[in-house]
Copies of this chain bind each other. A is one copy, B any other.
Amino acid sequence: MTVELICVGTELLLGNIVNTNAAFISEKCAMLGLSMYYQSVVGDNAGRLEHLLRTAKERSDVIILSGGLGPTQDDLTKETAAEVMGRKLVEDERAKKEIKDCLAKLGRTITENNWKQSLVPEGSTVLYNSNGTAPGIIMEDGDTRMILLPGPPNELVPMFEEQVYPYLRDLQPEMICSRMVKLCGIGESAAETKILDLLSAQKNPTVAPYAKTGEVHLRITAKAENEKKALAMIEPVEEELRQRFGNHVYTDDPEVTLEMAAAELLKERKLTVTTAESCTGGLLAGRLVNVPGISDYFKEGYITYSNEAKEKLLGVSHETLEAYGAVSSQTAAEMAEGGAKAAGADLCVSVTGIAGPEGGTKEKPVGLVYVGCYCKGKVFTEKRLYSGSRSKIREYSVANALTFLRKIILEETKG
C-alpha cells in the first residue's frame, strides 16, 4: 500500500520553518510498512494544490495532507480536498461546539471566520482536535483515502498518534520491520565495498547505507505477514553484517548513539573517563553529556585551548610543547595522561589539532588532528587529517575521538 505526503504552507516554501511534520509522518508510515514514494510541499494556492491532489490520487492509495486548515481566507486545504473528492462541506455540530469551547478557554472572542473550521466534507470521518480549533478529516473514496491534518506540530502529532496511526495500521495486510546496524571507524565507500554482493542481490530484506558524520548506518528492512516472520528474515542479514564488520558495529538500536555506546562500555566495565580538549573546545565532552546518567562515569572535563592551560591543568611539559608543538602525538599523549591523573579517572581522551581556517603550515596543515587515549597506565595516540570547514573538522574530530575511546576500551580492558 502506498502513501503520499503533501504539506501545505507558504512558510515552508519560504524556508521560515523546517518541515519536522514530514519527518514525523514519514517515520510513522515506514513503521507501518506503508511505501512512501513522494512528499510534496505547496503554498496556500488552490490551483496548484488541486493539481497535485489529482496527481496524487492517481498514483497513491493514501494521501496525507498537513496544514491549511486554519480559519483564514488563505487556508484552503479542506475546500480543495473536498472539491477533488467531490464532497460538499457541511457543518459538524461537535466540531462547532469544540471550537466555541476552545476559544472560550483561551479567552478569545469568536469571529465569523472561526465557523469555517466547523465545516467538514460530507460523509467524512472527523478527527476532533484536543489541542486546537482545526479538526482533522479522513475521506474514503473506493481505495483512495485522503487524510487532512492541522499544520502545528503540537496539534498534528497527538492527532496522528491517537487517531491516524491506528486507522492506518488496520489497513495494512503486511508488516514491515527494520533494524539499523550502526558502524563507526569505517567510511561509507569502504563499508559498501564490503557488502556489494548483498546490495546487488537484495530484494526482501533490503540493506541501505546512510553516511553520518564519522559513522555509517546500515538499515535492514523486511516485509512479511507478521512481525515475527519479518524479524526472522532480518536476523541472518544482521548476523552477516556483524560477521563482516566486527567491532565496527556499535549498536543495532536506532535510539543508541555513538556516545551512548561508549558510555555503555564504561558502565559495563566500571570505568570512569575524562576529556582533555584543545581544538574541539568542549564538543567532545558535550557529546558525552548527551547521555543521560553519564555523571556516574564522567565527572569533569578540561578545555585547554592555550599552551599555558595544557601545562597548568594537564601537566603537559613545557619541553614537549617547545620541541613538538601543541599539535603533535607527544602533546596528545601528555594531555591524555595528565587529564586522567588530574581527574583521577581510568581513562582520558585528548584532542589537539588545527581546525583552521588560519594556523596551518606545510608540515602541519589545517585539518591535522591528533587524538590520544590514556587507559590504565598506557597511552595511545592516532593521527588524522580532515578536510573542510572549521566546524566540520571539529565534528569529525569528536566522532573520531569517541570511536577511538570505544576501540581502546574494547582492546585494553576486560568485559
Give me the interface of A with B, judged by CB distance under 8 Å. Answer: 10-20, 22-30, 36-43, 45, 48, 52, 70-74, 102-103, 105-114, 130-132, 152, 154, 158, 187-190, 192-193, 196, 199-200, 208-211, 213, 219, 275, 277, 279-286, 288-290, 292-295, 298-306, 308-309, 312-313, 343, 356-358, 367, 384-392, 394-395
Contact = CB atoms under 8 A, between A and B. Distances in A.
Given A23-B17, A281-B285, A305 B299 contact: yes
A57 to B, nearest CB: 16
Contacts of A158: 389
Contact of A282 (B72, B192, B289, B293): B289
Contacts of A22: 12, 15, 18-19, 41
B300 A289 contact: no
B37 A45 contact: yes
A48 B42 contact: no
A389 B162 CA distance: 13
B211 A152 contact: yes
A39 B41 contact: yes
Given A24-B15, A39-B40, A71 B277 contact: no
Nearest to A209: B72
A388 to B, nearest CB: 4
Given A10-B208, A15-B25, 13 more contacts: A13-B39, A16-B210, A19-B23, A22-B41, A38-B41, A38-B52, A71-B192, A107-B384, A113-B189, A275-B303, A281-B285, A292-B356, A294-B305
Nearest to A290: B391
A286 B289 contact: no
A12 B392 CA distance: 22
Contact of A300 (B19, B72, B152, B305): B305
B275 A282 contact: yes
B30 A387 contact: no
Given A26-B13, A107-B384, A281-B285, A302 B300 contact: yes
Contact of A286 (B209, B280, B298, B312): B280
Contacts of A289: 279-283, 303, 305, 394
Given A302-B303, A306-B299, A306-B300, A281 B286 contact: yes
Number of copies: 2
Nearest to A19: B19
Nearest to A48: B37
Contacts of A298: 305
Given A292-B390, A294-B305, A303-B285, A111 B208 contact: no
Contacts of A384: 106-107
A18 to B, nearest CB: 4
A246 to B, nearest CB: 17
A298 B71 CA distance: 38
A227 B309 CA distance: 48
Nearest to A178: B14
A390 B71 contact: no
Contacts of A208: 10-11, 14, 16, 74
Contact of A303 (B12, B300, B390): B300
Nearest to A304: B300
A200 B13 CA distance: 20
Given A113-B189, A300-B303, A304-B300, A18 B19 contact: yes
Contacts of A48: 37-38
A383 to B, nearest CB: 8
Rank and list the top 6 A-B pairs by shortest CB-CB distance, nearest first.
Answer: A281-B289, A15-B27, A282-B282, A15-B26, A282-B285, A301-B303
